[in-house]
Amino acid sequence: MTAPLPSSPLPLALTMGEPAGIGGEIALMAWRLRRDRGIPPFFLIDSPDRLLALAHATGLDVPVREIADPADTAAVFADALPVLRQELTAPVVSGQPDPANGAAVIASIDRAVALVRAGRAAAVVTNPIQKSSLYAAGFRHPGHTEYLAHLAGMTEEPVMLLEGGGLRVALATIHVALKDVPGLLTPAVLLHTARTTCQALRRDFGIAQPRLAVAALNPHAGEGGAMGREEIEIIAPAVAALRAEGLAVTGPLPADTLFHAGARAAYDAVLCQYHDQGLIPLKTLDFETGVNITLGLPFIRTSPDHGTALSLAGTAQASPSSLVAALLSADRLARQRAQSPA
């Protein structure tokens, strides 16, 4: 029987996200569920004033208390949502992002990463950002994942893994047009994605001998080359190289038979070749509580598996389930990593 992980003395750092989106209210809702769901202490890097106004406007009426340091979280968390102040430049109107607040959104991420890397917080949990608004403010990165890699000084790309419904999917390519996927798939990309995923499954998920299934790109795994040669020329050689390294990797496997219950029992994660190949089955199995986890970073980062939901902002109708799952996942992964060698 696996021994329980020790509790972490450090709180989780939750970023502001897009202030005009649902991030603030789902954070308020998550705090209200702290006892029922066993949510570990977390603090939010945001404006206490705007959160108090949001709590009153939405009828959530969550007590908000400003803290001076993450170390204050433990003493505050039982009675109020701890908030590390991050000033906003412009007033926030729910559902209407303002690029003037882009610097504050980015600063919230910067501070969360810095606090975790300094050993003052256990993990980074990011609320969704509105990339179009950040681009207008001068943001020069494709998204959260790439920016976090930049902050970490990484030379290799991190890997996006989604977890939910008993399924984990790692993505070889992410937010690219489907027509561009075949040209982006190379043995090097697959080797990096697989190695990073297997390392994370060992270190952060506590799986001593992870089993990784690799999905084919084409229907029926290319039908022996009749429907594409990517399986023969790219995927199969990469799988063979990984197996030669001693990794328990199988594939390429036809994607249409890879996600039913019996198939899922045979692996710990699937390496998918493109975004929807992995996200459609995962969101079908678990639409509400999927979690986005970034692998390969020198710190733990999780995020809800949804966007800013501007149409729901300010209504208190958004579900906090994915954020709650992201907080619980971040805590579990951080405690596991603390127990594992680098």
**Sequence ranges of the binding site:** 144-145, 175, 220, 275, 283, 292, 301
User: Residues 131, 121: contact at Cβ < 8 Å?
Assistant: no
Radius of gyration of the chain (CA): 20
CA distance 69 to 115: 10
**DSSP character at residue 227:** T
| Numbered residues of the known binding site for substrate | 144-145, 283, 292, 301
Question: How close are the terminal C-alpha atoms of the chain, in Å?
Answer: 24
Angstrom CA distances, 43 to 94, 259, 306, stand at 22, 36, 21
CA distance 213 to 328: 26
Instruction: Render 81-122 in DSSP notation, one character per residue.
Output: EEEEE---SS--BTTB--GGGHHHHHHHHHHHHHHHHTTSSS
| Numbered residues of the known binding site for a divalent metal cation | 175, 220, 275
User: Residues 211, 223: contact at Cβ < 8 Å?
Assistant: no
- Our separate counts of H helices and E strands in the chain read 14, 12
